[in-house]
């Protein structure tokens, strides 16, 4: 691999985290972003699960892109994605039952996460395997970071903890932020802050 393609791939990766951040900029995949971020660790696990599906589906779809007829490409993509989601679901149920419980229905719902299908259609179907891999890592990383940041914010304001390490007594926390309304409000402010930083 020469230097030029490498720089291009690195740029694809960084774009996924900053310029095309799926949650803060593209505003995709909002459902899991709001629902599973009641704590930092939950947000991170959801991000990693999505990242795994995204990387695998990107690789498989960019490998198969010349074999899939154009007319049935969307159903074909969905089957590929659903396969990897089922793998994640089964592995999580077997080895991390507590986590699978707290993420609940949002694991199978990775299938309808617009980010995964969106990247398959917009990137993997047009680019080679290696760039698709980097795109998967970049977007997945961006998603994971966004979810972790949101989870940590809510956990900190709501319970005074970060990754279960206590910073101030739980009684002083605003429980609201762990509940549903806090998810919307925290994400609203985080998107606003991200907007502000990006503009400058």
Partner 1 sequence: MEYIGIIIVAIFVNNVVLAQFLGICPFLGVSKKVDTAIGMGAAVTFVLTIATIVTFLLQKGLLEPFGIQYLQTITFILVIASLVQMVEIVIKKVSPPLYQALGVFLPLITTNCVILGVAILVIQKDFTLLSSVVYAVATAAGYALALIIFSTIREQLALTKVPKAMQGVPIALITAGILAMAFMGFSGIDQVF
Q: Nearest to residue 32, comparing CAs of 147, 190, 164?
A: 147
Q: Which of these ranges, 11-19, 32-40, 135-143, 149-157, lies near partner 1 under the rule CB under 8 A?
A: 32-40
Shortest CB 109 distance to partner 1, Å: 5
- Lookup: tokens for 104: 């609940």
- Can residue 181 be called a binding residue for partner 1 (CB under 8 A)? yes
Among 111, 124, 150, 152, binds partner 1 (CB under 8 A): 111
CA distances from 73 to 31, 55, 141 (A): 25, 18, 26
| Radius of gyration of the chain from its Cα atoms, rounded to whole angstroms | 18
φ/ψ (deg, to 5) at 65: -55, -30
- Can residue 99 be called a binding residue for partner 1 (CB under 8 A)? no
CA atoms within a 13 Å half-sphere pointing along the CA-CB vector of 164: 2
Q: Which of these ranges, 13-21, 62-70, 153-161, 182-190, lies near partner 1 under the rule CB under 8 A?
A: 182-190
Q: Which of these ranges, 8-16, 31-39, 126-134, 159-167, lies near partner 1 under the rule CB under 8 A?
A: 31-39
CB-based contacts of 179, cutoff 8 Å, min separation 6: none
Contacts with partner 1, residue ranges (CB under 8 A)? 27-28, 30-32, 34-35, 74-75, 78-79, 82-83, 85-86, 89-90, 105, 108-109, 111-114, 117, 176, 179-185, 187-189, 191-193, 195-196, 199
């Amino acid at each position: 691999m020469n230097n030029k393609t490498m720089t291009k791939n690195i740029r694809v990766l960084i774009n996924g985290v900053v310029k095309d951040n799926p949650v803060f900029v593209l505003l995709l995949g909002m459902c899991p972003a709001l629902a599973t971020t009641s704590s930092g660790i939950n947000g991170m696990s959801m991000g990693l699960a999505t990242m795994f599906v995204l990387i695998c589906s990107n690789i498989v779809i960019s490998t198969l892109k010349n074999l899939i007829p154009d007319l049935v490409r969307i159903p074909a993509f969905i089957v590929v994605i659903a396969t990897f989601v089922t793998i994640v679901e089964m592995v999580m149920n077997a080895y991390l039952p507590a986590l699978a419980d707290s993420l609940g229905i949002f694991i199978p719902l990775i299938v309808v996460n617009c980010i995964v299908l969106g990247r398959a259609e917009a990137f993997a179907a047009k680019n080679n395997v290696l760039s698709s891999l980097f795109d998967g890592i970049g977007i997945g990383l961006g998603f994971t970071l966004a979810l972790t940041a949101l989870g940590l914010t809510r956990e900190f304001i709501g319970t005074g903890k970060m990754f279960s390490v206590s910073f101030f007594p739980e009684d002083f926390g605003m429980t609201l932020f762990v509940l549903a309304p806090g998810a919307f409000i925290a994400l609203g402010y985080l998107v606003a802050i991200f907007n502000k930083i990006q503009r400058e």
